Amino acid sequence: MNIYLDNISFTYPDQTILEDVSLTLQSGEFVCLLGRNGSGKTTLMKIASGRLKPSAGSITVSERNSQQVDSDSLKRYFSILPQGIQDPPYLSAEAVLQLGTFDPSRQVPLRISPASLKSVNHAIEVCEIERFRNRSFNQLSGGEKQRVWIAFCLVQEKPFLLLDESLHALDFMAKEDFFMMLSKLAADGSGVILSTHDVALAKKYASRIVYLNDRKIAYDGPGGDDLEKAIEIGSPLLP
């Protein structure tokens, strides 16, 4: 499945955040989104997931046939982990996952349905969180929380995962672990988009790197010398 963001612009009355940005997202790809603070990464991700409406441009989803979609229906394609996400208070890891099976067209069932339980168990297996599934979420370590959040995305069974800088407070082992897990998910067919500041890990694990600079996409391709060049041009103050 492909999702095409075409000629997307986003402006506030006094400021342009994104200007004529075009980007294609594919399932099976692990895309890392680089860019300095304030370069528009979060805005771009919010537009992709339908949380913000672009000021101009269109978004097309092609499965078997292509169709243009509005912001409201985009959330069916993306599970998200927003920036600065807070621990859900009082919930166990598994309870968090169960919330991921929410179906807006129905009342929340008192007892989880067999189908939902199956997908919860599957996500628990994939993310290897069986041994702390019943622990209280806020007692988990940073790395464990991260795994639960990824499982939470998987439970939703949506084709794409959007993760916005969800790496803070992870030690270097946990970070590497996190990247490995995401590239595995992409290999299994999900489309994964991660915004990050870790260029080294992005080059090591991502199948594609998108570099945002000065409201535009300055680089889109595999990690390599061209990327280094683009980053240098984008940041003239670096030595």
Partner 1 sequence: MRRITYVLVISMMCLGLGILIGLLYGPASLSIGQLWEALMHSGEKSPEIIVWQLRMPRVAIALVVGASLATAGALLQISARNPLGDPQIFGVGGGATIAQAMALAGWITSETWSLTSISVVFSVIGVSIITYFSARRDITSARLALIGVSVAALSLAIATGIMASARIFTQQSLTFIGGSFTNRGWDELVSAIPFVLLGLGLTALIAGRLNLLSLGDEIAHNLGANPSKTRLLAMIAASILGGIAVSLSGLVGFVGLLVPHIARIAVGHDARSIILVSIPLGATLTLYADQVARLTFMPAEVPVGMVTTALGAPLMIYIARRVT
Residue with smaller CB distance to partner 1, 44 or 218: 44
Give the residue carrying structure tokens 């870790």.
198
Residue 64 touching partner 1 (CB under 8 A): no
The nearest distance, CB 32 to partner 1, in angstroms, is: 21
Residue 103 touching partner 1 (CB under 8 A): yes
Q: Which stretch binds partner 1 (CB under 8 A): 84-92, 112-120, 121-129, 212-220?
A: 84-92
For residues 10-36, one letter each, b for 16 or more C-beta atoms within 10 angstroms of the residue's C-beta and e for the rest, the string is: beeeeeebbbebebebbbebbbbbbbe
Instruction: Find the binding residues for partner 1 in span 30-49 (CB under 8 A).
Output: 49
Residue 104 touching partner 1 (CB under 8 A): yes
Residues in the chain: 239
| Phi, psi angle pair for 33, to nearest 5° | -105, 115
CA gap 94, 59 in Å, rounded: 34
CA gap 212, 218 in Å, rounded: 6
DSSP β-bridge partners for residue 163: 81, 194
Residue 90 touching partner 1 (CB under 8 A): yes
Residue 115 touching partner 1 (CB under 8 A): no
Binding site for partner 1 (CB under 8 A): 49, 51, 75-76, 78-82, 85-86, 88-92, 95-96, 99-100, 102-104, 107-111, 156
